[in-house]
């Protein structure tokens, strides 16, 4: 156990100035897509109380990077995601998207919400096409893509069904297709696989890894599953209970493409254990 133990820590070490063209240096030299500095969020509730949801959140996300966020329920993961999606105002702090101040949603963004949020008067296909319609993109070619995405998540044949005719997990998969249909370069996913059974979930994990590898999107994935976080991420961000702070950022340098078999390797287990230790110390076990 001793010699491989140091492996996870290697990536944190080299500063960007290191000239050695190792793959690790390339990782850290990645162009920064999103710079989150000292972001705070305080909600005002109806009865006049203030809820401190996010506290001094700092994170730089590189272009093409895959980040997983884990943290106990209610720690502000959704809050952070909505702020990044431009649909919720931060209370203070700076967020720069490619050097520019972020102050609203972007066409380059695809969001998977924690609840599917499908429109009940639209068929599955029409729901997936919402971003294309909103952004007035060319319909026919994107409809082709929408059908392909639906087939990818195992929903071909359901294109003309209405959301109420689908199970919760199927609705969630429609929501994932909707986030991908306009081929955004930045994906924000809020527990996208929460409503799926273990088998489908693993399948979707593999699909997401494939999509990410092929299209080099930047992905921010919120998940309750620590193995899922490790399996997919370049770095796993661990948050504390409310007010949500980032307590640890764990680089995962497992080789890619990752396979389901890796779940059983000791390296994988060590990443999971390190993350779980944070949960145990805060008294909230996942």
Partner 1 sequence: MKAHPNAHDRLHRFTQAVLLPLATLCLFIGGWEAFVYGFGISQIVLPSPSAIALAFSDGLLSGDFSWHLAVTMYEVLAGFILGSAAGLVLGFLIALVPLAERILYPYIVAFQTVPKVAIAPIMVIWFGYGVTSKIVITATIAFFPLLANTIMGLRATPHDQIEMLVSYTASRWQVFTMVRLKQALPYIFVGLDVAIVLSVIGAIVGEFVGAKAGLGYLILQKNFNLDMAGTFAILIILSLIGVGLHAIVSWAQRRIVFWMDTAGDRVMGA
242 binds ligand ATP (CB under 6 A): yes
The partner in contact with residue 45, picked from partner 1, Mg ion, ligand ATP, none with C-beta cut-offs of 5 to 8 angstroms by kind, is ligand ATP
The partner in contact with residue 162, picked from ligand ATP, Mg ion, partner 1, none with C-beta cut-offs of 5 to 8 angstroms by kind, is partner 1
Q: Shortest approach of ligand ATP to residue 244 CB, angstroms?
A: 7
Among 34, 36, 39, 53, binds ligand ATP (CB under 6 A): 53
Residues 141-170, one symbol each (x = binds partner 1 by CB under 8 A, - = not), give ---------------------x-x------
The number of beta carbons lying within 10 Å of the beta carbon of residue 61 is 23
Residue with tokens 């006049």: 48
90 binds ligand ATP (CB under 6 A): no
Residues 169-208 that bind partner 1 (CB under 8 A): 182
Q: Which residues bind Mg ion (CB under 5 A)?
A: 78, 114
- Return the number of the residue (62 or 71) whose C-beta is nearest ligand ATP: 71
The partner in contact with residue 134, picked from Mg ion, partner 1, ligand ATP, none with C-beta cut-offs of 5 to 8 angstroms by kind, is partner 1
Segment lying near ligand ATP (by CB under 6 A), choices 70-78, 97-105, 201-209, 275-283: 70-78
Which residues on adjacent β-strands are paired with residue 67?
220, 235
- Return the number of the residue (135 or 280) whose C-beta is nearest partner 1: 135
Q: What is the DSSP letter of 31?
A: P
51 binds partner 1 (CB under 8 A): no
Q: What are 245's two structure tokens?
A: 């702070």
The edge-to-edge listing of strands for the beta sheet with 32-44 is 50-62, 32-44, 92-97, 100-101
**53 Cβ contact list (under 8 Å, min separation 6):** 41, 42, 43, 76, 79, 242, 243, 244
Torsional sign, CA 167, 170, 134, 35: positive
Q: Shortest approach of partner 1 to residue 34 CB, angstroms?
A: 15
Q: What are 250's two structure tokens?
A: 């764990």
Q: What is the DSSP letter of 45?
A: P
DSSP 111-165: EE-SS----TTS-HHHHHTHHHHHTT--HHHHHHHHHHHHHHTT-TT-TTS-GGG
Residue 244 CA to residue 233 CA, distance in Å, equals 20
Which parts of 197-249 fold into alpha helices (H)?
198-215, 226-232
The partner in contact with residue 15, picked from partner 1, Mg ion, ligand ATP, none with C-beta cut-offs of 5 to 8 angstroms by kind, is none
Residues 85-144 that bind partner 1 (CB under 8 A): 85-87, 104-107, 109, 111, 113, 115, 117, 119-121, 130-131, 133-135
List of residues contacting partner 1 (CB under 8 A): 82, 85-87, 104-107, 109, 111, 113, 115, 117, 119-121, 130-131, 133-135, 162, 164, 182
List of residues contacting ligand ATP (CB under 6 A): 43, 45, 51, 53, 71, 73-79, 114, 242
């Amino acid at each position: 156990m001793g010699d491989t133990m140091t492996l996870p820590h290697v990536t944190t070490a080299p500063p960007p100035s290191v000239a050695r063209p190792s793959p690790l240096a390339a990782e850290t030299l990645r162009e920064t897509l999103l710079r989150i500095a000292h972001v705070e969020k305080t909600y005002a509730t109806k009865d006049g109380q203030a809820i401190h949801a996010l506290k001094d959140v700092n994170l730089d996300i590189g272009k093409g990077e895959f980040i997983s966020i884990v943290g106990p329920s209610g720690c502000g993961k959704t809050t952070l995601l909505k702020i990044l999606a431009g649909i919720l105002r931060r209370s203070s702090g700076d967020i720069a998207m490619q050097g520019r101040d972020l102050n609203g949603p972007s066409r380059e963004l695809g969001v998977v919400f924690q609840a599917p949020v499908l429109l009940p008067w639209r068929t599955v296909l029409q729901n997936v096409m919402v971003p294309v319609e909103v952004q007035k993109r060319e319909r026919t070619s994107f409809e082709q893509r929408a059908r392909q995405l639906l087939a990818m998540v195992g929903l071909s044949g359901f294109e003309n069904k209405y959301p109420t005719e689908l199970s919760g997990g199927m609705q969630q998969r429609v929501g994932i297709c909707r986030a991908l249909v306009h081929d955004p370069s930045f994906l924000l996913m809020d527990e996208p696989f929460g409503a799926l059974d273990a088998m489908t979930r693993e399948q979707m994990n593999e699909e997401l890894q494939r999509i990410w590898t092929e299209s080099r999107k930047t992905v921010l994935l919120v998940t309750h599953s620590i193995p899922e976080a490790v399996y997919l991420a370049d770095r796993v961000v661990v948050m504390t209970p409310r007010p949500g702070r980032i307590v640890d950022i764990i680089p995962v340098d497992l080789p890619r493409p990752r396979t389901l078999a890796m779940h059983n390797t000791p390296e994988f287990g060590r990443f999971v254990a390190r993350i779980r230790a944070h949960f145990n110390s805060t008294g909230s076990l996942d």
